[in-house]
């Protein structure tokens, strides 16, 4: 029995997608090593500790508008229709000093500190200015309007961001607004990547009869790039146990994860399967999905790691180019984020009207490739990108979304709503 429990294929049947995802999620333990990086290098990194606000943001009450600042109570009076004397101008970055005499107002700019006696800003376009006096029509503004309160964005002493947050552009700005210069993040996950198959050649090399260019490695390098992990690119590995063993030795010594494509099915030259099985506790699954039926996952251990504390996780994707990318999206993406210490980040999903009929039999999930776009009535609609074979990479390249037909679902009629997972910018 492996760390993943008894083989999910013991009964010989196919594993539903959600069951496979659950097995992966239950097996993985996030990284614990941390490092401190400057904010400029923190995009996509995962916070390892909460960031507590060292200050209030904004630090003072300030104006949300260019205009005139009053006491709100003055504006409620009939007297508001009379002219009020302007005693000064407050610019952002230069708070007014001194005490304001009662019944006076100041000219104020957006972002300027509110004089403590004043609480309401009237935008300039609602004011009538005559010399150094200003008039506001009653009823156009309420007391307290257009004042941004101290700490309304971030409060001193409270968490601004919490551990597990994968830092996005807005998060970096938010940290900068606190004056933070560096953050403690989990170290980057290191993923060893290689493609297996004697028929594979690198772009730029001659292409002998029967050979193909290795597209999976480039697709997967791109997908890993979107996740911000470090990649150890181990290139092409022939269907040869010696070469595979040597590549695995290196991957196990240097990486946290081994990501491969090809060799997980039943072919005679699929040494990968046997060799991987001998080097860890890998489950070779048949997942009830198209594309992507054969998939292998589990802990690998090198010779020095026999009793090691930390397994290196194998995600062995099927060789067909669409199957490799779909299984990456469905299984590896969330698994790698989990290992990286990030809290779950589900891919965006929505319902859309299918433009075409789709044949489907219950009992497996299908991930067809589609183009999601707004229809004439403003609702989302999706159309398939032509032939959907697992080797037809154009079906993926033209798509911006996966049309996901669930395990129990049957055929879809044109006009029916279907589930759609967005992948633009991710795959």
- Token readout for 4 is 């993943």
**How many other C-beta atoms lie within 10 A of the C-beta of residue 325?**
29
The answer to whether 279 contacts ligand LQZAQKY5 (rule: CB under 6 A) is no
Q: Max alpha carbon distance in the chain (Å)?
A: 94
- Give the residue from 291, 405, 425, 397 showing the smallest Cα distance to 356: 405
Q: Which is nearer to ligand LQZAQKY5, 161 or 316 (CB)?
A: 316
200 binds ligand LQZAQKY5 (CB under 6 A): yes
Ranges assigned E (strand) in 56-100: 62-63, 67-70, 84-90
3-class state of residue 421 by DSSP:
strand
Among 53, 216, 247, 381, binds ligand LQZAQKY5 (CB under 6 A): 216
264 to 303: interface string for ligand MOO, x by CB under 6 A: --------------------------xxxx----------
- Cα distance between residue 163 and residue 158, in whole Å: 13
CB closer to ligand MOO, 187 vs 360: 360
Smallest separation, CB 416 to ligand LQZAQKY5 (Å): 26
Residue 58 CA to residue 137 CA, distance in Å, equals 30
Rule CB under 6 A: say whether 262 interacts with ligand MOO: no
Contact region for ligand LQZAQKY5 (CB under 6 A) — 13-21, 129-137, 161-169, 258-266?
258-266
Q: How far apart are CA 423 and CA 427, in angstroms?
A: 6
Q: Does 99 engage in binding with ligand LQZAQKY5 (CB under 6 A)?
A: no
- Closer of 290 and 360 to ligand MOO (Cβ): 290
Show the site string, 303-332: x = touches ligand LQZAQKY5 by CB under 6 A, - = not: ---------------xxxx-x---------
C-alpha span between 195 and 261 (Å, rounded): 5
Check residue 321 for interaction with ligand MOO (CB under 6 A).
Answer: no
Question: Site map for ligand LQZAQKY5, 71-90, x if CB under 6 A?
Answer: --------------------
- Please report the beta strands in 170-265, taking only residues with DSSP state E, as ranges in sequence order: 182-186, 190-196, 200-201, 212-213, 230-237, 257-261
By beta-carbon proximity to ligand LQZAQKY5, the closer residue of 145 and 239 is 239
SS3 content of the chain, % helix, strand, coil (to 5): 20, 30, 45
147 Cβ partners below 8 Å, 6+ apart?
61, 62, 63, 64, 114, 119, 120, 121
Q: Is 214 in the site for ligand LQZAQKY5 (CB under 6 A)?
A: yes
Partnered with residue 374 across adjacent β-strands are: 380
Site mask for ligand LQZAQKY5 (CB under 6 A), range 146-185, x = bound: ----------------------------------------
The neighbour count for residue 9, using CB atoms within 10 Å, is: 14
Q: Is 323 in the site for ligand MOO (CB under 6 A)?
A: yes
318 binds ligand MOO (CB under 6 A): yes
Q: Give yes or no for residue 146 binding ligand MOO (CB under 6 A).
A: no
**Residues making up the chain, counted from first to last:** 427
Name the one range near ligand MOO by CB under 6 A: 152-160, 207-215, 315-323, 363-371.
315-323
What gap in Å lies between CA 421 and CA 382, rounded to an integer? 11
Is 71 a binding residue for ligand MOO by CB under 6 A? The answer is no
Task: Say whether residue 16 binds ligand MOO (CB under 6 A).
Answer: no
Unique residue bearing structure tokens 């049957």: 410
Residues that bind ligand LQZAQKY5 (CB under 6 A): 195, 197, 199-200, 212, 214-217, 261-267, 270, 291, 293-294, 318-321, 323, 390-391
Residues that bind ligand MOO (CB under 6 A): 290-293, 318, 320, 323, 390
């Amino acid at each position: 029995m492996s760390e993943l429990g008894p083989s999910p294929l013991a009964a010989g049947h196919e594993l539903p997608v959600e069951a496979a995802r659950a097995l992966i999620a239950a097996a993985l333990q996030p990284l614990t090593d941390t490092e401190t990086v400057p904010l400029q290098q923190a995009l996509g990194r995962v916070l390892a500790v909460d960031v507590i606000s060292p200050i209030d943001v904004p630090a003072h009450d300030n104006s949300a508008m260019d205009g005139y600042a009053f006491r709100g109570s003055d504006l409620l009076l009939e007297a508001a229709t009379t002219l009020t004397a302007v005693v000064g101008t407050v610019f952002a970055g230069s708070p007014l000093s001194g005490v304001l005499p009662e019944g006076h107002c100041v000219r104020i700019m957006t972002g300027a500190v509110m004089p403590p006696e004043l609480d309401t800003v009237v935008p300039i376009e609602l004011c009538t200015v005559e010399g150094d006096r200003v008039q506001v029509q009653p009823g156009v503004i309420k007391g307290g309007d257009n004042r941004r309160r101290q700490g309304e964005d971030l409060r001193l002493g409270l968490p601004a961001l919490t551990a597990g947050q994968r830092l996005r552009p807005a998060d970096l700005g938010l940290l900068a607004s606190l004056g933070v210069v560096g953050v403690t993040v989990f170290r980057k996950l290191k993923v060893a990547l290689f493609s297996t198959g004697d028929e594979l050649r690198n772009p730029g090399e001659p292409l002998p009869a029967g050979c193909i260019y290795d597209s999976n490695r480039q697709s997967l390098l791109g997908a890993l790039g979107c996740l911000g992990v470090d990649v150890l690119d181990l290139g092409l590995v022939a269907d040869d146990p010696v070469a595979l063993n040597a590549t695995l030795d290196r991957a196990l010594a240097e990486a946290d994860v081994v990501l491969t494509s090809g060799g997980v099915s039943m072919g005679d030259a699929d040494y990968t399967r046997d060799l991987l099985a001998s080097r860890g506790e890998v489950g070779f699954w048949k997942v009830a999905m198209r594309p992507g039926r054969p998939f292998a996952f589990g802990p690998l251990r090198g010779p020095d790691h026999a009793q090691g504390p930390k397994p290196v996780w194998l995600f062995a994707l099927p060789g067909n180019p669409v199957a490799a990318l779909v299984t990456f999206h469905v299984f590896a993406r969330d698994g790698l984020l989990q290992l990286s210490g990030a809290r779950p980040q589900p891919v965006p999903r929505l319902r859309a009207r299918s433009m075409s009929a789709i044949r489907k039999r219950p009992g497996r999930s299908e991930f067809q490739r589609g183009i999601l776009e707004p229809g004439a009535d403003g609702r989302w609609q999706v159309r398939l990108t032509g032939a959907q074979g697992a080797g037809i990479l154009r079906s993926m390249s033209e798509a911006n979304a996966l049309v996901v037909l669930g395990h129990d679902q049957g055929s879809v009629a044109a006009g029916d709503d279907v589930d759609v997972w967005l992948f633009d910018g991710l795959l």
